[in-house]
């Protein structure tokens, strides 16, 4: 093995909901790809983020948070997506939140502790620790739980220790030719990314009201000259939810559109004409056929 040999491999980001996996991915990539919010289960699909740095190509797989709730088809889809990834990657980043440890962390731990590939425990949000003295005993405890794993404390939001984490990942990737062109960022389509940006703004606007019963479908995605025309349909399950998203006099809908358009302009490098509609589609989140039509399918 030589330092100049190309390296390439898949790196899964796994953990319970809301530990900062998508924020970590965005910081590593140096730009926003994965949507984020303070709501658990913001990530619903696996998403590839490709980082090529000289002779090293790390293909990150952001996954939905593993959780105990399996009562709806959407929840089962998310759990199965995350679990399936673990069987197909070269390195696993098990992301945890500071010194917190829950039943759902235990659920993830039980899935990763028997893996044959290298596992790195990423202790995120360390900048938000009230007492830094709590960190050392917790790191020692984590090391005892996964003795073969490296434990790396980071702050994904502020970029602390991310360079060290990336150096470690590069050393763990297998030698091999790169799978993707060096300028490719993801395997997902622009339509998919546009839908996710709209859903992110909905989730951030709605507080705890209805974000988990919302999906977004792109009906038109068309470049005309210097303007990219995007028509997006926001799907909800009940009439009352539709009224909440629209808001008084359409104010909330307008804000969702404004914020989504700004992010789309950065991502696509084009002027955006965005049109949004809200439609009631009852029971979509527990209907496997409806989920499939909305892109919730295994690749």
Is there a single domain that holds both residue 89 and residue 11? yes
Domain that holds residue 128: 7-172
Boundary of a domain, candidates 141, 172, 203: 172
Q: Is residue 299 situated within a structural domain?
A: no
Is there a single domain that holds both residue 109 and residue 240? no
Which CATH number goes with the domain that contains 217?
3.30.300.20
pTM: 0.85
Q: Is residue 276 situated within a structural domain?
A: yes
Give the pLDDT confidence score for residue 286 in this predicted structure: 79
Which CATH number goes with the domain that contains 66?
3.40.50.300
Boundary of a domain, candidates 121, 146, 172: 172
Is there a single domain that holds both residue 263 and residue 140? no
Give the pLDDT confidence score for residue 229 in this predicted structure: 98
Give the pLDDT confidence score for residue 207 in this predicted structure: 65
Using the structure block, give the residue that is written with the tokens 């470690």.
Answer: 168
| pLDDT tens sequence across 258-278 | 999 999 999 999 999 999 999
Domains: count for the chain: 2
Is there a single domain that holds both residue 155 and residue 282? no
Give the pLDDT confidence score for residue 274 in this predicted structure: 98
Q: Is residue 201 situated within a structural domain?
A: yes
Give the pLDDT confidence score for residue 41 in this predicted structure: 66
Give the pLDDT confidence score for residue 1 in this predicted structure: 43
Q: Is residue 184 situated within a structural domain?
A: no
Give the pLDDT confidence score for residue 70 in this predicted structure: 62
Is there a single domain that holds both residue 15 and residue 159? yes
pLDDT tens for each residue of the chain, 299 residues long: 446 899 999 999 999 988 999 999 999 999 888 888 777 767 777 888 999 999 999 999 988 777 666 666 767 766 677 778 888 899 999 999 998 999 999 989 988 988 999 999 999 999 988 787 888 999 999 999 889 899 999 999 899 999 999 999 999 999 999 999 999 999 999 999 999 999 999 988 886 656 567 899 999 999 999 999 999 999 998 898 899 999 999 999 999 999 999 999 999 999 999 999 999 988 877 777 777 777 766 55
Give the pLDDT confidence score for residue 284 in this predicted structure: 79
Is there a single domain that holds both residue 140 and residue 197? no
Q: Is residue 242 situated within a structural domain?
A: yes
Is there a single domain that holds both residue 136 and residue 36? yes
| pLDDT tens sequence across 85-136 | 888 899 999 999 998 999 999 989 988 988 999 999 999 999 988 787 888 9
Is there a single domain that holds both residue 45 and residue 157? yes
């Amino acid at each position: 093995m030589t330092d100049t040999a190309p390296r390439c491999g898949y790196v899964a980001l796994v953990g319970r909901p809301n530990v900062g996996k998508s924020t970590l991915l965005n910081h590593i990539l140096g730009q926003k790809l994965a949507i984020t919010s303070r709501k658990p289960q913001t990530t619903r699909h696996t998403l590839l983020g490709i980082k090529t740095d000289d002779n090293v190509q790390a293909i990150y797989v952001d996954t939905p948070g593993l959780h105990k709730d399996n009562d709806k088809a959407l929840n089962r889809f998310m759990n199965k997506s995350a679990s399936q990834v673990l069987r197909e990657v070269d390195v696993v980043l098990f992301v945890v939140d500071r010194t917190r440890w829950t039943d759902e962390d235990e659920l993830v731990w039980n899935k990763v502790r028997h893996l044959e590939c290298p596992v790195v425990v990423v202790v995120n949000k360390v900048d938000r620790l009230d007492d830094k003295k709590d960190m050392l005993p917790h790191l020692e405890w984590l090391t005892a739980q996964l003795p073969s794993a490296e434990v790396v404390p980071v702050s994904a939001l502020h970029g602390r220790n991310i360079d060290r984490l990336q150096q470690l990942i590069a050393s763990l990737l297998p030698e091999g030719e790169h799978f993707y062109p060096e300028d490719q960022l993801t395997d997902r389509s622009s339509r998919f990314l546009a839908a996710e940006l709209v859903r992110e703004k909905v989730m951030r606007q709605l507080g705890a009201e209805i974000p988990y019963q919302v999906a977004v479908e792109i009906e038109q995605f068309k470049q005309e000259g210097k303007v990219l025309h995007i028509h997006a349909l926001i799907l909800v399950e009940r009439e009352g939810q539709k009224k909440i998203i629209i808001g008084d006099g359409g104010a909330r809908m307008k804000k969702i559109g404004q914020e989504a358009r700004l992010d789309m302009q950065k991502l696509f490098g084009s002027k955006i004409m965005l049109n949004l509609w809200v439609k009631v589609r009852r029971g979509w989140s527990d209907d496997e056929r409806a989920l499939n039509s909305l892109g919730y399918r295994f690749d």
